[in-house]
Chains A and B, each alone.
Chain A
Amino acid sequence: MKRFFEKFSIHFILIFVSLLSIFPFIWLISTSLKGAGENIFAYPPTIIPADFTWENYVGVWQKVDFIGYFINSMIVAGGTVLLNLILSAMAGYPLARMEFKGKKIAFFSVLSTIMIPFQAIMLPVYLITLKLHLVDSVNNFAGFVGLIMPFAVSAFGIFLMRQAFLGIPREMEEAAIVDGCSVWQLFIKVLLPMVKPSLAVLAIFTFIGSWGEFLWPSIVLTKESMYTLPVGVNNLQGMFSSNWRFIAAGSILSTIPILIFFLAMQRYFISGENEGAVKG
Chain B
Amino acid sequence: MFKYYGKYAPYLFLLPAGIVLLIFFFIPFFQTFLLSFQDYSSSIYNPTWVGFENYFKLFQNPVFYKVLWNTFIYLFVAVPILAIFPLFIAILINQKIRGVTLYKILIYLPVIVSIVVAAIAFKWLYADQGILNFLVTSMGFESIGWLTDPKWALYSVILVTIWKGVGYYMIIYLAALMSVPKELYEACDIDGANFLTKHLTVTIPHIMPTIALVTTISAISAMKVFAEIYVMTKGGPLNSSKTIVYYIYERAFENLDLGYASAMAVVLLVIVMVFSLLNIFVFERNKYHL
Contact = CB atoms under 8 A, between A and B. Distances in A.
Interface in A162-216: 170, 173-174, 177, 183, 186-187, 208, 211-212, 214-215
B120 A124 contact: no
B174 interface: yes
A119 interface: yes
Contacts of B223: 117
| Majority SS at the chain B contact face | helix
A119 B224 contact: yes
Contacts of A236: 120
A138 B196 CA distance: 62
- Which 9 A-B residue pairs are closest in the complex by CB-CB distance? A272-B175, A124-B31, A124-B28, A24-B121, A91-B17, A275-B175, A115-B276, A94-B10, A18-B106
25 contacts: A7-B95, A10-B92, A10-B95, A24-B124, A44-B134, A106-B14, A109-B21, A116-B269, A120-B32, A123-B32, A124-B27, A149-B20, A153-B21, A158-B17, A177-B4, A183-B9, A187-B13, A212-B112, A214-B114, A215-B227, A237-B120, A247-B120, A248-B120, A269-B171, A278-B168
B262 A123 contact: yes
Interface string B93-130: 10101010111111111111111111011101101011
Interface in B37-76: none
A31 interface: yes
> In the complex, which of the residues B92, B117, B118 has the most CB atoms of chain A within 10 Å of its own CB atom?
B117
Given A255-B114, A269-B112, A87 B166 contact: no
A7 B248 CA distance: 49
B200 interface: no
B188 to A, nearest CB: 14
Interface string A264-279: 0010011011011011
Contacts of A6: 195
- B interface bracket (residues with beta carbon within 8 Å of A): 35 or more
A254 B113 CA distance: 10
A254 B119 CA distance: 14
B92 A14 contact: yes
Given A119-B226, A123-B35, A21 B171 contact: no
Given A121-B29, A173-B4, A254 B114 contact: yes
Interface of A: 6-7, 10-11, 13-14, 17-18, 20-22, 24-25, 27-28, 31, 41, 43-45, 83, 86-88, 90-91, 93-95, 98-100, 103, 106, 109-111, 113-117, 119-128, 149-150, 152-153, 158-159, 170, 173-174, 177, 183, 186-187, 208, 211-212, 214-215, 218-219, 229-231, 233-234, 236-237, 244, 247-248, 251, 254-255, 258-259, 261-263, 266, 269-270, 272-273, 275-276, 278-280
Contacts of B26: 109, 113
Given A115-B277, A230-B115, A120 B25 contact: no
> In the complex, which of the residues B103, B120, B167, B269 has the most CB atoms of chain A within 10 Å of its own CB atom?
B120
A186 B13 CA distance: 13
A17 B107 contact: yes
B197 to A, nearest CB: 15
Interface of B: 1-6, 9-11, 13-14, 16-18, 20-21, 23-29, 31-32, 35, 89, 92-93, 95, 97, 99, 101-118, 120-122, 124-125, 127, 129-131, 134, 138, 163, 166-168, 171-172, 174-176, 178, 195, 213, 217, 220-221, 223-224, 226-227, 230-231, 245, 248-249, 252-253, 258, 261-262, 265-266, 268-269, 272-273, 276-277, 280, 287-288
B114 A258 contact: yes
A111 B281 CA distance: 11
A123 B258 contact: yes
Given A177-B4, A270-B108, A275-B171, A233 B117 contact: yes
Contacts of A14: 89, 92-93, 99, 103
A31 B125 CA distance: 11
B46 to A, nearest CB: 14
Contact of A251 (B14, B120, B138, B176): B120
Contacts of B176: 275
B14 A121 contact: no
A66 to B, nearest CB: 13
A211 B112 CA distance: 9
Contacts of B23: 128, 149
